[in-house]
Chain A
Amino acid sequence: MTRAAHAINHVIEVRGLSTQFGEAIVHDDLDLDVCAGEILGVVGGSGTGKSVLMRAIIGLKRPSLGVVRVFGEDFYGVSGKVRLSIERRWGVLFQGGALFSSLTVAQNIMAPIREHLKIEGELAKDMAALKISMVGLPAEAGAKYPSELSGGMRKRAGLARALALDPELVFLDEPTAGLDPIGAARFDDLISNLKESLGLTVFMVTHDLDTLHATCDRVAVLAEKRVIACGPLDEVRQTDHPWVREYFSGPRGRAALAAKAG
């Protein structure tokens, strides 16, 4: 299988994407690229369709128009087999963790390993233990059920499951939402570290200005049904758009900037 040169740079290419729910149009002719090895933060006001964009890329919400290319393949145009092979190369962390409630954390992580890699027994357990330790959970957490975990631990466990197949691309939906500031900062560090050591590409939907400053290589701003700005944070901050100005120059935006500078 050969891949076009541009696809190596762009892990995700979204072209002319339109999505809608009934009459309500969420995205209209939206373009977005995610480069290999970067952390892209997607920001935007509530209801601008950040999560919908993520769902359109990972195949949960079929766009009404447009092309989504992941790893150079047109995700909605290829056969089910190719699609599955793409799906095995990414991991998704949903907002609430989305752990299977009837399985323990370790069993949750072993589920995709069993299903896709046909690996059972000791190796699967070792892999689960590795992932649990990598996301910073204690070894005892492996035997716990999702209902016994705190919100932060659930997110870590969800990330461990997203990393189970050693994906090249990870989608994170509001990874720090609902975490206390200390937990959120740790999660930021964790994501940066994993990106460094595993060479991950990360697509992250977030509201959190501190996360943007701490982890993201580039930021895409969603507004008016499109990506109105995309680039390094400092560039995006200069964009002349009311929402962008308010977002970055509001009290929280300034505090996050000060924290970064200090």
Chain B
Amino acid sequence: MADSAAQFDTDIQKGILRLIAHGDWRARSVGPIDSRLRDFSDDSVGRDLVIDMTGIERLDTTGAMLLQRTFFACDSRTSASKIVGATDPQRALMEQIQHHLAPCHIAPYHGNAFVVVLERLGQAVANTYYSALELMSFIGAVLATFWKVVRQPSHFRWTSTVHHMEEAGLDAIPIVGLMSFLIGAVVAFMGAKILSLFNADIFTVELVGISVLREFGVLLSAILIAGRSGSAFTAQIGSMKIREEIDAMRVLGLDPMEVLVLPRVIALVVMLPIIAFIAAFLGVVGGALVAASAMDISIALFVARFEETIILNHFWAGMIKAPFFAFVIAVIGCFQGMEVEGSAESLGQRTTLSVVQALFLVIVIDAFFAMFYLEIDF
């Protein structure tokens, strides 16, 4: 079917304006004549207009809307104005459309751009303040629930806790271990390159040992767990919130803090030190392998030097941080999950926010520990 174009001609007979429409007046074909039609109706406001539809082959709501719009724009409200030549179905359509010509709102009015920027800034500041308060109160609730469970150990959810230990902890070990191994190797390579300039290759052992034990092992574990398990906590709890499962729990007399939050927090607080330990071990192994293969430091020499120079403090300095990181990651993951409201977009936003906040706080806490260790000479 060859689409013929929508067309119209105008003339004046006995002082009455005539618009003779012909062709295909459908949505797909009226686009090109819209502006001409508008000009026409702008020029002839308040005049008598006869619209002749005899030549119209096809008509749909859009075509009918254009004709009616033109008609009403010009209409002089005398009997001389009329629409002629329409078939019965066309007339019915025209009559129907006549009631639907009012314009509608397209987008909400946002106001002055400068004001909007200020408003957003203010809102962001206020939101930060309130969400910090809410997070504090959530932490309080977690601790209170923990205390309750300590006093009444029968309330402790073993199954759930062990499940999360496996899912959030055990399953993460291969990827965390691999990453830490590679980082240990990379640090050793860097050390080999620079330290050999000073003929101090052997200090690679200290470089790898101290950096991996104090920082990299635990920090990398925390970062990976925040991205992997913290976000999973938010997604799990958030989707339960959307499906009203949390509400169902509350009316059944189950405390979501006790059933959902506490097992996750405890699971992560138990598992992250273990993961960090494995990560630190594999990081040192990575460093030792590079030292053996790329430099003249045999494994035996590496181990001997390691025993001699790396005091246990370095190890503890790293490990002490692990439960703190774990607590922050788990609490923020659960908190953001509980904050999810209604829609899937909210779930996505909260999941992103959970990872960003957890990473930020992990780094902040790490910095505090570094300063603290410096002060106490640890």
Q: Which residues of A contact B (CB under 8 A)?
A: 1, 88, 101, 104, 106-107, 110, 113, 116-119, 122-123, 125-134, 139-144, 147, 163, 165-166, 193, 196-199
Contact = CB atoms under 8 A, between A and B. Distances in A.
B107 A106 contact: yes
The binding surface of chain B is classed by DSSP as: loop
B106 interface: yes
Contacts of B27: 113, 117, 119, 127, 165-166
Contacts of A1: 1
Nearest to A123: B34
B343 A126 contact: no
B31 A119 contact: yes
A130 B96 CA distance: 11
Contacts of A166: 26-27, 60-62
Interface in B96-134: 96-97, 99-109
A166 B102 CA distance: 19
Contact of A118 (B31, B60, B89): B31
Residue with the highest number of chain B CB atoms closer than 10 Å, among A106, A129, A130, A165: A130
Contact of B61 (A132, A141, A198): A198
A193 B109 CA distance: 33
Contacts of A125: 103-104, 106
B92 interface: yes
B86 to A, nearest CB: 13
B89 A199 contact: yes
A130 B65 contact: yes
Interface string B52-64: 0000000011100
B345 A197 contact: no
Nearest to B344: A101
A199 B38 CA distance: 28
A183 B279 CA distance: 61
Contacts of A119: 27, 31, 34
B31 A117 contact: yes
Residue with the highest number of chain A CB atoms closer than 10 Å, among B38, B60, B105: B105
A106 B105 contact: yes
B65 A143 contact: no
B278 to A, nearest CB: 39
Nearest to B31: A119
- Ranked nearest first, the 4 interchain pairs of A and B with the lowest CB-CB distance are A143-B105, A133-B100, A142-B104, A129-B104
B28 interface: yes
Contact of A122 (B34, B105, B109, B343): B34
